Structure 1
């Protein structure tokens, strides 16, 4: 049988939990299939940015990608529903949703785009960095030019909070911060550290305004070409690495705050209630875009 080679890309660096986990997945799948399935891992946007990779999967030029769902909003705006601000009081709430009805619903949406969902991993809670001043309350965000992903929900969230949201591809963020094109950005701690944003940012505010999953996808055509026995192995190993990847994200959060402080960042932990109150109205405002059914699934899991 001819060897199956699957290219998988993502936007983060080699030390990020995504990449560590994908490399582990690659090794485990190769071993379990006697080398008949090889997953080649391409970190650091080597296969392009999120949009490029998503289009590549749809066109069949690359097989797999690991994405934050917010990065896939250009395919279908409903994919970003999990990123309604302050939807997830704990990670367990989010895990239950994405491993349950919410994940099933989002997988159906991805299937409409020609993408098969292999497993739901984690991006984590997002926090704000900037080079202007400490953020202790929403009023501190006024006038801050803040990079956000090219996603309308994120733009609207920071419009509501008083910042100046600036959509920008992730691959351009470090340079934008370095050149003062933007004042700040928002991302999970693992991304902030791995991307060395501490070199060009002074302040970190632990706002936890959004929790995001990470979806490991493969093109439907590539998936359909894989023998069933190998599909089962890939799915099984991806689920094993899902648990390891999530554990890495959780364990890193505490130690990364210390590392970022050691690297010179000044860390604040603002009371999030004023932030929550300002963005609460967005839940009803986005009912038309996401559909009441999806919103209700999020509400159900977020309150359990």
Structure 2
């Protein structure tokens, strides 16, 4: 009889556990490490930290995000690989860095694609952003927000760059991105890829003459200590892609997913405002730190990079290029 009672108790316990299990799974905390390569002083980190705090509070800790700046979780390439495998749960990553897994992501950072930041925001908050996010999901990556890197400008230690011919012979570091390499080869420079974390020391040691980044990064990464000339080329506008591993995203309840998306949008707006405010003040600040600024002949640059657009037509496809063109008019 005792044996029979134990069996009944065991069966009831198992039944109770199985009934509770799905509820427990839903209520389980989802711990997320969010990595990016920029320093703590940059708007990426300030906004990502605000986003994390808001999600942690609004979900009562069901979704817990911790932010790791300065490449602590690896280079952008390594974080992207981690997102695909689920070993890194989230990342704030330059859009162009995703070309290794989805070449069409490069359309955002084509040379002189955007006449203004507002034009780019309209596209990414609209049809272009939706189309690109849809292409990323099968790669195991969920796009939850389009933030901003900003317009990139060329710095170097040799001479002011005012026209494409001034780039001749300059060894310039670029992001590990085929289109970026091709762009600067077309412009007559000598580009080579290097991870962001190694860039300061490479410039300091003279391994590179030049690099290209937005003013906010030139300042926050202290490139003014190792570069002299800033040419306001604004040759590429870059998006920052707030992403999550799809496997992790799918563990979050629909209600909490809505909270995450709302926080990503709200902090994206704040981050964009930070970029605009910083850019307006940075020229004077960087001049005070010893950098020399010059304008460039943008028409000459736009004409010089026309072959890059022609070469990428087949990569992006007619449908995506048509969407892009609706926002560029």
- Which bracket does the TM-score occupy, shorter chain normalised? over 0.9
- Deviation digits for residues 76-104 of structure 1, max 9, x if unmatched? 21111111111100111111111111101
What's the CA shift for 1:297? 1.9
Matched, 1:32 2:67: no
In structure 2, distance between residues paired with 1:275 and 1:208: 10
Match of 2:289 in 1: 263
Shift of 1:246: 0.5
**Counterparts of 2:205 and 2:100 in 1: how far apart (Å)?**
27
In the alignment, which residue of structure 1 is the partner of 2:193?
A: 167
* Structure 1 residue 233 corresponds to structure 2 residue 244: no
2:30–2:251 CA contact under 8 A, matched in 1 = no
- Measured after TM superposition, the shift of residue 2 of structure 1 is 3.2
Structure-1 separation of matches of 2:205 and 2:319 = 43
**1:88-131 per-position Cα deviation (integer Å, ceiling 9, x unaligned):** 00111111111111101110121121001111111110000001
Distance 1:189 1:109 in 2: 30
Where do 5+ consecutive residues of structure 1 fail to align? none
**Counterpart-to-counterpart distance in 1, 2:268 and 2:30:** 22
Is 1:151 the counterpart of 2:183? The answer is no
TM-score (norm 1): 0.97
CA contact (8 A) 2:63 2:252 kept: no
Q: 1:225, 1:16 → 2: CA distance?
A: 30
Q: How many Å apart are 1:249 and its aligned residue?
A: 0.6
Structure 1 stretches (4+) deviating beyond 6 angstroms? none
The separation in 1 between residues aligned to 2:324 and 2:310, in whole angstroms, is: 12
- The two structures, once aligned, show a CA RMSD in angstroms of 1.0
- SS of the aligned residue for 2:46 comes to helix
More divergent stretch after superposition (90-99 vs 280-289): 280-289
> Structure 2 CA distance, aligned partners of 1:54 and 1:245?
22
For residue 65 of structure 1, give the secondary structure of its aligned residue in structure 2: strand
TM-fit CA distance, 1:290: 1.8
1:183 aligned to 2:217? no
What is aligned with 1:131? 157
Q: Is 1:217 equivalent to 2:243 in the alignment?
A: yes
In the alignment, which of 11, 18, 29 is matched to residue 44 of structure 2?
A: 18
Report whether the alignment pairs 1:197 with 2:223.
yes
User: In the TM superposition, what is the alpha-carbon distance from 1:66 to its structure 2 partner?
Assistant: 0.7
CA shift, 1:280, in A, is 1.8
Bigger share in helix: 2
Q: What is the alpha-carbon distance in structure 2 between the residues aligned to residue 228 and residue 298 of structure 1?
A: 31
Matched, 1:76 2:102: yes
1:96 counterpart = 2:108: no
CA distance in 2, matches of 1:167, 1:295: 27
TM-score scaled by length of structure 2: 0.90
Partner of 2:166: 140
